[in-house]
C-alpha cells in the first residue's frame, strides 16, 4: 500500500470532514471515504447502539442495513460488539465468512446468506465519549488485510473527531436558536401582560411544566400566535 499517498488522502479528507455543513453530511462523507480509501471495502456504514437497539447511519449499500438489523435481532456481531466495547478490543476483523466464526456462531451463517465475504468494525471513540462503530464490508472473503485494518483504524480515528465536532456544533446551533425563540416569546409576554423579564420567563416555564410541553415549543407557539 502507498502509505504516503494514503496520508495525503487522509489530510484532504480531514479538511473535507470539517467543511461539511451538517452531521448527516459528515457521516456520509465518512462512509463514502471508507469505500474509496480502504482497500477491499465495498460498503460501509455507521452503527449507533442505544441499549440493544441499533440505528444505521449513512449506509452506502442496503447490505449495511441488513447486517445491522441482523446483529440487533441476534444481539451479536462484530460491529455490534465494537459499538458497545467499553474496554479492550476496539477493532474487529473477520477475514473470511466462508469459514466457521466461533465468536459469532449465530451471526456468521446469516452474514454468508447476506453475501458478506469479510468485514471490519471500528469503535468510533474520543476521550469524551463512545459514538458507535464504523463498519466496512467486502463481498469477497480474504479482502481485508492488516494494511486494510490499519487504514480503517486511521479513518475511524479521523471520523470520530469529525463526528463529535459536527454533533457538538449542531447542538450549539440548536441551543442558540432555542435561546433566541425563548427571548422573543418573553418579549411578547412582557409587552402583552406588562411583565418583567423574570416574570415572563416564569410564565413560560410554568406553562411548560403544567402542560408537559417543552419550553422551546411553548416559546415557538407564543411567537407564532402573538400570545400564550
Q: What is the pLDDT of residue 31?
A: 92
Phi and psi at residue 177, to the nearest 5°? -65, -45
Within this chain, domains 3-169 and 172-225 share the same CATH topology: no
Residue corresponding to grid cell 463512545:
130
Highest mean pLDDT, choosing among 17-21, 143-147, 176-180: 143-147
> Selecting from 2.60.120.680, 1.10.10.10, 2.40.128.110, 3.90.380.10, what CATH number does the domain 172-225 have?
1.10.10.10
Cα 118 to Cα 49, 54, 112, 204, 219, distances in angstroms: 22, 21, 9, 55, 51
Whether 124 and 90 have beta carbons less than 8 Å apart is answered as no
What kind and span of H or E run contains 210? helix 197-211
Region 144-162: what's the mean pLDDT?
A: 85
Q: Per-domain residue ranges for the chain? A: 3-169, 172-225
Tens digits of per-residue pLDDT, 78-128?
887 777 765 556 788 898 998 888 889 999 999 999 999 999 988 886 545
Q: For residue 214, what is the DSSP state? A: -
Q: Which residues pair with residue 112 across a beta bridge?
A: none
Highest mean pLDDT, choosing among 7-16, 43-52, 61-70, 185-194: 61-70
Whether 76 and 115 have beta carbons less than 8 Å apart is answered as no
Tens digits of per-residue pLDDT, 26-38?
888 889 989 998 9
Q: What is the pLDDT of residue 59?
A: 95
CA gap 89, 87 in Å, rounded: 7
Region 1-11: what's the mean pLDDT?
A: 69
Q: What is the pLDDT of residue 170?
A: 56
**Does domain 3-169 sit in CATH 3.40.228.10?**
no
Region 200-226: what's the mean pLDDT?
A: 84
The pTM score is: 0.67
**Residue 9, C-alpha cell as written in the block:** 488522502
* Signed CA dihedral, 167, 168, 173, 177: sign only: positive
Helix (H, G, I), strand (E, B) or coil at 40: coil
Region 46-60: what's the mean pLDDT?
A: 86
Amino acid at each position: 500500500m502507498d502509505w504516503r499517498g494514503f496520508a495525503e488522502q487522509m489530510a484532504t479528507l480531514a479538511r473535507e470532514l470539517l467543511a461539511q455543513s451538517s452531521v448527516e453530511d459528515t457521516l456520509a462523507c465518512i462512509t463514502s471515504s471508507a469505500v474509496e480509501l480502504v482497500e477491499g471495502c465495498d460498503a460501509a456504514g455507521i452503527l449507533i447502539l442505544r441499549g440493544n437497539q441499533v440505528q444505521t447511519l449513512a449506509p452506502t449499500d442496503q447490505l449495511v442495513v441488513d447486517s445491522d438489523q441482523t446483529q440487533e435481532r441476534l444481539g451479536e456481531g462484530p460491529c455490534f460488539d465494537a459499538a458497545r466495547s467499553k474496554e479492550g478490543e476496539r477493532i474487529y476483523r473477520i477475514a473470511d465468512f466462508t469459514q466457521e466464526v466461533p465468536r459469532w456462531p449465530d451471526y456468521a451463517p446469516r452474514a454468508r446468506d447476506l453475501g458478506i465475504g469479510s468485514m471490519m468494525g471500528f469503535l468510533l471513540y474520543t476521550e469524551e465519549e463512545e459514538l458507535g462503530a464504523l463498519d466496512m464490508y467486502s463481498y469477497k472473503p480474504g479482502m481485508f488485510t492488516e494494511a486494510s485494518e490499519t487504514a480503517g483504524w486511521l479513518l475511524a480515528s479521523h471520523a470520530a473527531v469529525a463526528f463529535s465536532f459536527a454533533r457538538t456544533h449542531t447542538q450549539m446551533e440548536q441551543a442558540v436558536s432555542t435561546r433566541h425563540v425563548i427571548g422573543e416569546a418573553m418579549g411578547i409576554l412582557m409587552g402583552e401582560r406588562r411583565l418583567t423579564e423574570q416574570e415572563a420567563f416564569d410564565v413560560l416555564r410554568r406553562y411548560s411544566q403544567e402542560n408537559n410541553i417543552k419550553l422551546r415549543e411553548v416559546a415557538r407557539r407564543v411567537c407564532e400566535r402573538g400570545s400564550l
